[in-house]
A and B are shown apart, each in its own frame.
Chain A
């Protein structure tokens, strides 16, 4: 039970990190494209 919650938590955390990294990357790209 606890184990499952831990794995789920880690999975969501990893996904969150990946997502925010990609969003930041996209913002920087948009900036550079505007120039």
Chain B
């Protein structure tokens, strides 16, 4: 439980630092603080998807349901972070540039990730049997894995060439001030730890559910 308390203090402490210690980014003004939340959320969205897909492939290889637990768990938690990233990004865009959504390359990419998460979870929800659900969703995950590089990098560029926008996104140029960088990476680490903690809980629940069903089956 010391680890948990440490995580709590870590995130709380660095959040306070984000407000009280780190300076503002000149271009962003008061909205600077959103980046400490929004960018880590987006990073974890990608991490979670990668984790989920790797475990899908591992499941197809080794057929151990633990891999399916990880694939599903990472997807369920990942979509939460994805929604958080999308929403915070949208609010940030509204505050900065006056419109909630612009289909600029980053917004487009995060939206596609949201679609993939949703599609994966939709496939899972349409199957009742454990093994079949694990197998078919893993297959979909593997297929989506091919699409991701195209969706993340190619399609947004295509959109942007079709609809060039005068709004330029300066996000690439932040993290100049070392204090900002420190707080950012500290919170990035903190959120990553939070993700893996949530994932471990989710996986343990899945294992318990399977054991509970097995116990019922054995008793009857």
Contact = CB atoms under 8 A, between A and B. Distances in A.
Q: Give yes or no for direct A-B contact (beta carbon below 8 Å).
A: yes
Contact of B16 (A8, A22, A25): A8
Contact of A12 (B16, B30, B204, B205): B16
Given A8-B20, A12-B12, A33-B208, 20 more contacts: A4-B19, A5-B19, A7-B19, A8-B15, A8-B19, A11-B15, A12-B15, A12-B16, A15-B11, A19-B4, A19-B7, A19-B8, A22-B198, A23-B1, A23-B4, A25-B201, A26-B4, A29-B208, A32-B208, A33-B204
Contacts, number: 39
Interface in A3-35: 3-5, 7-8, 11-12, 15-16, 19, 22-23, 25-26, 29, 32-33
A7 B208 contact: no
B84 to A, nearest CB: 11
21 contacts: A3-B30, A5-B19, A7-B19, A7-B33, A8-B15, A8-B19, A8-B20, A11-B15, A15-B8, A15-B12, A15-B15, A19-B4, A19-B8, A22-B197, A22-B201, A23-B4, A26-B4, A26-B201, A29-B208, A32-B208, A33-B208
Q: Which bucket holds chain B's interface residue count?
A: 10 to 19
B44 to A, nearest CB: 14
Contacts of B201: 22, 25-26, 29
Nearest to B15: A11
